[in-house]
A and B are shown apart, each in its own frame.
Chain A
Amino acid sequence: MKFFGTLKSLKVTPVRNMLEVRNLRAGYGAINVLWDVSLAIAPGKLTAIIGPNGAGKTTLLRAIIGLTPVTQGDILDEGVSILNQPTWDRASHGLALIPEGRMIFRDMSVEENLMLGAYAKQNRATMQGNLERAYAMFPLLLARRSQMAGSLSGGEAQMLMMGRGLMSSPRILLVDEPSLGLAPLIVQEMFATLAKLKAEGRTIVLVEQNTQGAVKIADHVYLMQGGKVVLSQPANEVNMEKLHQQYFAR
């Protein structure tokens, strides 16, 4: 009787898309921002979403994690709709958003901020190891571990959010403009970190206005404009000149 064998062979259908967004509409109350956005995020790859200011990139990531309400369409995680899961459930099940702006716990210490990244029950056992990894990745955070997070500079806060996002060992990392407002040297460091995370086999969705840097480390590129996806291309086929023309076209 080889029951288990048969059951196993039924399960081999490979998951082609880690995350899939289908005809998504989302916005803020009466203002609709995303118009039928569809994307497919392959596992273990880095997908870059680029586009000018106001294109709806942040809104898209917020909709994926559940902070911005969706009015139409679907979001699938490994083929299963997560649309009616609240943000905290999506976050506990392997999605992590490293948000734009200073979404930190200002009146808690740097270390407490990092620890909160491991809040979900299944991540608490691995917290110490992940904490050490975060400090190894961002030694500056180690030096500031007992300082209030509100006292960090913009770049340090960005590192803190990145470290905090990794504390849950997420399957899918959604990163929103990590280079925004950072000094050029730190921007390079940030891209190097992302490349390293990709090499570890993590699935990454990177939103960037720094087109050059993003395309260089990406596997696939989406261009967004006015709340729509206007281009979808493997990164090695992207022609930077053409991309820039399209980027600034209205």
Chain B
Amino acid sequence: MTELIFQAIYSGLLQGGSYALIALGLALVFGTMKVINLAHGELVLLAAYIAYAVESAFNVSPIVAIPVALVVVCISALLVYLLVDRIKKDRELNSLILTYGIGVMITNAILLIWKADIRSTKSAWLQDAVVLGPFYSMRSELGFFILSLVLMGLLWWWLSKSWYGRAVRAVASNRDAAKLMGINPRTTEIVSFVVAGILAAFAGVALYSYGVIQPPLGHALTVKAFIITVLAGVGSIPGVLAGALLLGVVEALTVTLLSSALQEIAGMGLFLLVLFVMPNGLFGTAARRG
């Protein structure tokens, strides 16, 4: 039994890597534009289906699809930006309705093109077992987990050391003050959508490489990303990573100990628990907000 629990924790942690990439994209866009992109999970799912399409059309590894997914998802993210940018009144509320609608449209487009069947990779190489001491995982799980850590390291470097990255943080922190520094907030909004798209593309290909995908997954991913950002409380990379790992572990434990039918409920339960017990998130302090 304890072996099962430890194995579940390990699998949950690996799953958390992709969750973190998804949640960071959501947080980045929210930071600069104060818009919650409810179509974000659908962008991730789009990347996953592109991996499926490339794999089945050319009989290659889904990893080969990463460049295609990057291009398609970044263009789609920019289209979402252009639409949200057209909203002139009550953007915070109206953007929720708009992005929700875009998400529904993406899901339906996926249904039309790729049907409702459950899909998963045929690559045996990706599904090969990798044993690390007492822990077991698929090669793709461990590989994409490491890749997600590398991407987060790069994101951290970009946000703290590059001028564009600093501008993104400045706009998120104080929009008017950022303008006084000579920063055009619209540029940083576009940049944050593109970076969110890059992270979403990697996460989507990862999900397809070690799991199963189907059209309703996009919506579930948006909800997870939202839960993680609230769990983290602050938009910091370590905070979001910790929130993502926690969600991954709680989901995996629920599936192992209770039932896979309860997986989504478990995330919600965790979310409500943190909201009631620590309303500022796991890492947010009351003073730092506002």
Answer whether A and B are interacting partners.
Answer: yes
A182 lies within 8 A of chain B by Cβ: no
Is A105 within 8 A of B179, CB to CB? no
Q: Check A99–B180 contact: CB distance below 8 A.
A: yes
Instruction: Tell me whether A124 is interfacial, beta carbon within 8 Å.
Output: yes
Let me know if A119 and B167 touch, CB within 8 A. Answer: yes
Contact with B along A67-95 (1 / 0, CB 8 A): 10000000000000000001111011000
Contacts of A99 in B (CB 8 A): 177, 180
Stretch at the interface among A32-40, A110-118, A199-207: A110-118
- Write out the residue numbers on chain B whose beta carbons fall within 8 Å of the beta carbon of A155: none
Q: Is B184 an interface residue (CB 8 A)?
A: yes
Interface contact B174-A92, CB-CB below 8 Å: no
Distance, CA A92 to CA B167, complexed state (A): 14
Cα separation A168 to B173 with both chains bound (whole Å): 20
Q: Do residues A119 and B182 form an inter-chain contact, with CB atoms below 8 A? A: yes
B128 adjacent to chain A (CB < 8 Å): no
Q: Is B163 an interface residue (CB 8 A)?
A: yes
- Residue A49 CB within 8 A of the other chain: no
B:166-184 near A, CB below 8 Å: 166-167, 169-170, 173-174, 176-184
Q: Check A120 against B182 for contact (C-beta < 8 Å).
A: yes
CB < 8 Å neighbour of A97 from B170, B180, B184: B180
Residue in B160, B181, B288 whose beta carbon sits within 8 Å of that of A119 in the complex: B181
Majority SS at the chain B contact face: helix
A243 at the interface (CB under 8 A from B): no
B170 lies within 8 A of A87 (CB) = no
| Complex partner residue of A107 from B163, B178, B288, CB under 8 angstroms | B288
- Taking the closest CB of chain A, its distance from the CB of B110, in whole angstroms, is 37
A105 contacts B177, C-beta separation under 8 Å: yes
Which parts of B225-240 form the interface with A (CB within 8 Å)?
234
Choice from B169, B181, B184 contacting A117 with Cβ under 8 Å:
B181
Are B163 and A124 within 8 A (Cβ)?
yes
Residue pair A91, B181 in contact (C-beta under 8 Å): yes
Of chain A, the residue at the smallest CB distance from B287 is: A150
| Residues of chain A with a CB closer than 8 A to B179's CB | 66-67, 86-88, 91
- Counting chain A CB atoms within 10 Å of each CB, which of B174, B176, B181 scores highest? B181
Interface size on A, residues (CB 8 A): 28
Q: Which residue of A lies closest to B184 (CB)?
A: A88
Chain B nearest CB from A62 CB (Å) reads 9
Is the beta-carbon distance between B166 and A88 smaller than 8 angstroms?
A: no
Residue A65 CB within 8 A of the other chain: yes
A107 to B180, CA, bound (A): 17
Query: With a CB–CB cut-off of 8 A, which chain A residues contact B166?
Result: 108, 112, 115-116, 119
Asked if A103 is an interface residue, CB under 8 A from chain B, the answer is yes
Q: Known interface pairs A104-B174, A119-B163, A150-B288. Does A87 touch B169 (Cβ–Cβ under 8 Å)?
A: no
| B160: nearest chain-A partner, CB-CB | A112
* Given A112-B166, A119-B167; A103-B173 close (CB under 8 Å): no
CB distance from B212 to the nearest CB of A (A): 39
Least CB distance from A108 to B in Å reads: 6
B182 in contact with A91 (CB, 8 Å): yes
Whose C-beta in chain B lies nearest to the C-beta of A107? Answer: B173
Least Cβ–Cβ distance between A177 and chain B, in angstroms: 16
Known: A91-B181, A92-B182, A116-B166. A105 touches B288 (CB 8 A): no
Complex Cα gap A66–B174 (Å): 16
Which residues of chain A have C-beta atoms less than 8 A from B163's C-beta?
119, 124
Closest 3 CB pairs of A and B: A92-B182, A87-B179, A120-B182
Q: What are 26 A-B pairs with beta-carbon distances under 8 A?
A: A66-B179, A87-B180, A88-B182, A89-B182, A91-B180, A91-B182, A99-B177, A99-B180, A103-B174, A103-B177, A103-B180, A104-B174, A106-B174, A107-B234, A108-B173, A112-B166, A115-B166, A116-B170, A116-B178, A116-B181, A116-B183, A117-B181, A119-B183, A120-B182, A124-B163, A150-B288
19 other contacts beyond A99-B180, A103-B177, A105-B170, with CB at 8 A cut-off?
A66-B179, A67-B179, A87-B180, A88-B179, A91-B180, A103-B180, A104-B177, A105-B177, A106-B173, A106-B174, A106-B288, A107-B234, A108-B170, A112-B166, A116-B166, A116-B167, A119-B163, A120-B181, A150-B288
